Structure 1
């Protein structure tokens, strides 16, 4: 595949503030890439740098093989879709769509034909004579996307385009954007703080924090093998559970210790005895069983039901969240057992937060409660 966008050692400073730190990213032609991370992580700065709205401080930025460091925005041949739609309020839908063509000298009839073709693709044909104020939020966003499509750019840049829409419309629009990408096979870079959008829409996800790329790859690769605790906690909903633990004296097991519960992870490979680690367990990989029948017991704090799923949160520190399909019978104040699939466990170094790889999946076994601490059943 041909590389459409290349970033090599890109840095961006705002005075003394280091916004982008040695960014290296290669995007193949026709790929949908999502930049995701918390507010202030640098994802929008990176997108604006691609568009030429921000000038990078160091490194190389290439689009379709051409160096873009000093190329002005209008000559980069990229189209940007903003969160605020950025439509001309005094122009009809048709005029909004044809404006970029008309200022480039395209004949009126040709521009109108191009607008009609794009409108048919995005479902706007019956709205061509309306003004933006006469459109819904979803329709305005389709106009903004259509205005970008009509230019046939080398890349589409989306800056949180769905943030202003309600929840149901966001779900609908993310399907539309992905379907549109599949039809056009254009290169798309999509900025979002919503990891569900990133996971469901993108071919390639880039997770950022504090101006650094923490991990990038296919969505399910990030879900299955997060590189560190930050990525593990950011990817997945509800977020991964984290429990502090210490490697046992023989180095062959890991002992969990939180509140009044202890349990042992028997490992297939040895780790340094006494090493402080964090055990990660996704809520959907935990099964509720009767007290005393699982790896360990926990008291129930909060139970939330959506009808199709039940979310159970423990009354422990740290909290543990469990997701059950359907409507469970667990209620606040109960003591339940947790059965955990050993193949779904994640280990992270407590000091660095980096993932610890093991040759085989650990085996989970119960460990008796220490005598000086009362059992949960006796509370």
Structure 2
């Protein structure tokens, strides 16, 4: 596969503020790439730089093999879908869809035919003569996507497009966007602060922090093999538990510095006596009989959602355990918890890098 978008050593300064720091990223043609990270990490700045809405300070940006440094947005042949739908309120759905085509001199019959085709793809056929005020939030977002699709661009750039929707509609729309991407064979770059959106929609996830790429790879690569405490804590819901620990004398166990703990077995030998930060995903901890389990933990809070129960311990630091079966555990109980050796993550307390 060839790179549809290629960023090489991109830097972006806003005066003294260094927003993007030597960012290099190759986005393959036809792939769905999610840029994810907390507010201020640089993900939207990177997306806007690809679109040409921000000028890069240094580095090289190529789209479909052509260098785009200094090329205005309208000549980059990319389409953006924003958090705000940015629809023209005085135009019907059909007029909103065909506006960009008519600006480029496409005749009315051809523009109408293309609008009908895109409306069929996005489920808007029955809404072509409505105005934006007569549409729901999900329908307006579909019109915004349809307006991008009708141009047949080299890439689709999504900037947190689902943030304004309610939770159920967000789940529905993320399936729609991914299905649309697959039908069109498009190249999509999707910015979100929601790691669930990134994990469920993207082929390739790029985790950003303070203007740099902390880690990139497939969703499961990031989940299974995080390179740092930051990535480990950002990917996965509920977030990973982090507990200080010390490697045992044999190098194959780690003792946790929490109440009533025994030693956890490790998959690989480590340096005996080394201080570590132990990462344990809540969903990998299995509740069993306290006498037979690896850890014994006092319970502070029990929250049931019906399909899952979240158990929070009264240890310092506190830990979360996710139980998928019905449980009789109550606050004040002591639970036994076990975990497989290959699901124990170790990080250096000073650098926070994976060991």
The answer, yes or no, to whether TM exceeds 0.5 is yes
Q: 1:298 to 1:102 in 2, by over 3 A?
A: same
Deviation at 1:265, TM superposition (A): 3.4
Confirm or deny: 8 A CA contact 1:257 1:263 kept in the other structure: no
Name the structure 2 match of 1:354.
353
Distance 2:71 2:146 in 1: 25
Deviation at 1:246, TM superposition (A): 1.7
Tell me whether 1:243 sits opposite 2:247 in the alignment.
no
Deviation at 1:51, TM superposition (A): 0.4
Distance 1:202 1:75 in 2: 27
Distance 1:336 1:66 in 2: 60
Name the structure 2 match of 1:98.
98
Distance 2:342 2:247 in 1: 18
Name the structure 2 match of 1:281.
280
Greater shift, 122-131 or 263-272, is seen at 263-272
Distance 2:336 2:267 in 1: 24
Deviation at 1:252, TM superposition (A): 4.4
Distance 2:240 2:26 in 1: 29
Report the TM-score, using the length of structure 2 for normalisation.
0.98
Distance 1:251 1:173 in 2: 48
Deviation at 1:247, TM superposition (A): 2.3
Tell me which stretches of 4 or more aligned residues in structure 1 moved more than 6 Å. Answer: none
Name the structure 2 match of 1:210.
210
User: Cα deviations across residues 265-321 of structure 1 (Å, max 9, x unaligned)?
Assistant: 344654334322111111111111122221121111111111111111111111111
> What is the 5 A alignment of 1:306-325?
306-325=305-324
User: Cα deviations across residues 149-192 of structure 1 (Å, max 9, x unaligned)?
Assistant: 00000000000000000000000000000000000010000000
Aligned-residue Cα RMSD (Å) equals: 1.2
Runs of 5+ consecutive residues of structure 2 not aligned to the other structure: none
Deviation at 1:101, TM superposition (A): 0.2
Q: 1:203 to 1:344 in 2, by over 3 A?
A: same
Runs of 5+ consecutive residues of structure 1 not aligned to the other structure: 357-379
Name the structure 1 match of 2:48.
48
> What is the 5 A alignment of 1:186-201?
186-201=186-201
Report the TM-score, using the length of structure 1 for normalisation.
0.92
Deviation at 1:344, TM superposition (A): 1.2
Q: 1:266 to 1:342 in 2, by over 3 A?
A: closer
Deviation at 1:343, TM superposition (A): 2.0
